[in-house]
Amino acid sequence: MRTRVLALIAGLLAAMTPPAAKARGLEGFWRMDDPLEGMQAVLEVYTCRGESTLCGKIAAVVGPNIDRRDYLNNELLRGLKAQRDGTYKGKLKMPVGRLPALNAVVEKRGQNSIHFQACFFGQCRSGTMSRLQ
103 lies in some domain: yes
Contact 30, 130 (CB under 8 A): yes
Residue 83's domain comprises 20-131
113 lies in some domain: yes
Q: Which CATH number characterizes residue 26's domain?
A: 2.40.128.520
Q: Give the pLDDT band (50/70/90) at residue 65.
A: confident
Q: What is the CA radius of gyration of the chain?
A: 17
Q: How far is CA 81 from CA 23, 30, 47, 61, 124, in A?
A: 7, 18, 10, 25, 20
pTM: 0.75
Q: What average pLDDT does the structure give for the chain? A: 80
13 lies in some domain: no
